Amino acid sequence: MNDPHAEPAAEQGEQRPEESFAEWQRLDLRSVFASVGLLVVPMLPVVALVLFPSDDSNAFPKAGVALAMGVFVIGAAWWRWFFTRFRVTPERFELRQGNFSRSFHSIPRERIRSVDLTAPLPHRLLGISVIRIGTGRQSTKASELRLDALPTDRAERLREQLLRRRRSAPADVSSPAQVGGATSRGAELARMRPSWYLYSTLTASLLLVTWAGLGSVLNTLGDLLRALGVTSWLVERLPGNADSVLTGPSLWIGVLLVLLVLLVGGWVGALMISLEMWWGYRLSTESGEALHVRRGLLTTRAVSLEKRRLRGIELAEPLLLRLAGGSRLTAVATGLGSESSGRADNKALLPPAPRHVAERIGAEVLERADGTGRSGNLRGHPRAALRRRMTRAVLVVLVLIGATVVARLLGPLPWWSPLGAVLTALPAALFAWDAYRNLGHELRGDFLVTRHGTAVRRTVQLQRNAIIGWRVRQSPFQRLAGLVTMSATTAAGDGQYSVHDVEPSAGVALADEAVPGLLTPFLRADPAGPTGEGSTADGVGREPPAAGGTPAER
């Protein structure tokens, strides 16, 4: 068996990497010690008992339980290491695990979609990395095999070997990797810039995570101060009556201070999370056949994506980030999982960055040298879509006004509360107008471009040859407005990407032009167009069936 810690010999041809994993291999023994990080919380009672002896009769049993948990964790980690073997043959990747409950995985190398490396802090200190091998199944845990862990240099070589296409494999002429010229080995497309960290502080998700953590810390601190009697001590020394302090000008000062703490704390926390996530970010190509993303401060992550798996890109612009001119770039590809698969972070190609940078990187990733990879201005949607959004905004405002009026009559709300609800009409109308203005779609070369959303505006560029079907949806309110939603189904990304609120004839024309012949079996002639130019699809014509539409799928 090969020494897992041995450095690779000098290059003697292409066969050397194949030989390094040809025999059954063990994981690195240091992975057992990396499990010590799981023992920090259970071992706290033991440490406290040693440092601060207690007369409590239950102290030693509690410490014994914690110690037993620690021994169990270390024993389980050693057992997993001892009974885990893997090897890489020219055709397959094989993994054996367990003793009492044994499992054996044998995967054709052509089915391997992704190989990701992660190194949490304990692993980094020990110089090892965790390898996750994805097989492309987006909805099951069986889609991913995990090797915890190998020395980082060997993990890199294993990743390169698993993703290397055999010379005898036929080229996929329809894949994005064949569009445009090949990129040189190791060409760098993007590198983290310090100013980009500021864009991450404008994403609502990081702010919410920070505020949740800050609230938990403040709640724990308040409980501790009350337990120590500090809170009562402060209340006794407040000038005047405590109730008068809490209802006077001091109340507003306290509210402003709390808001200031939330804003500053949220901004600083989001900045720290962004530093951990995107430190050392680098996007590069490997031999012109794969994209490689490396990032992370405490936990390093390395994700590789074959260009032949790439089917498009997505620009996501949360509201605050969009106002600052920023955007996020993610890949639409097979084998990376969807939002619900728990591996959505593997799709990230670029941290929050200026929009023009995201568009430029997106065009380079798609290898659209002519610039058509940029989103730009798209074809607008009918005014009926604006009326739908304005109607929803009015209904929300009316419900809010009614609720505040009832609460004012039944409760102690101030007299101006219904007026405050009326004032929400303006922002509601602005949001409705923005949602309509963000609607758009267009066919540009080999790509379908669609855009929608206001809280998070999303622009997707999807390869037309990646569309495997169309789904036509029409709600009762859309039927009244004469609109439909056309969803392009695909095996990549989230599975479907929609063009919202278009006229039925325009939607069918778009689908038929995007993938000629796909809707032909479902088209019927329009009496107004004897030449067939006015054809519609079953379920989206002027006389839809009672079921509300028939999906047209290949």
Tokens (6 digits) for 349: 């190609």
What pLDDT is recorded for position 309?
Answer: 87
Cis omega (within 30 of 0) for bond into 149: yes
Long-range contacts of residues 399-408, Cβ cutoff 8 Å, at least 24 apart: 400/424
DSSP state of 109: G
SS3 for 426-492 is: HHHHHHHHHHHHCCEEEEECCEEEEEECCCEEEEEEEEHHHEEEEEEECCHHHHHHCCEEEEEEECC
Burial of 90 (0-12, 13-18, 19+ CB in 10 A): exposed
User: Cα–Cα–Cα angle for 346, 328, 211, nearest 5°?
Assistant: 85
Beta strands in 200-286 (DSSP E): 282-286
Is the separation of the CB atoms in 337 and 139 below 8 Å? no
Neighbours of 97 (CB within 10 A): 16
* Domains of the chain, start order: 15-166 (2.30.29), 204-278 (no CATH), 279-365 (no CATH), 383-553 (no CATH)
Rg (CA), the chain: 29
What pLDDT is recorded for position 357?
Answer: 95
Residue holding tokens 């569009």? 179
Tell me the CA distances in angstroms from 179 to 364, 429, 461, one per residue in order.
Answer: 11, 44, 15
Neighbours of 142 (CB within 10 A): 9
Q: pLDDT averaged over consecutive 10-residue blocks of the chain (554 residues)?
A: 41 44 90 76 62 61 72 86 92 89 88 86 89 70 80 90 58 35 62 94 80 76 71 66 56 78 85 92 86 90 87 94 95 72 73 95 80 68 96 94 89 80 92 96 94 95 95 94 96 93 94 88 55 43 37 38
Contacts of 240 (CB under 8 A, 6+ apart): none
Amino acid identity, residue 8? Answer: P
Neighbours of 368 (CB within 10 A): 20
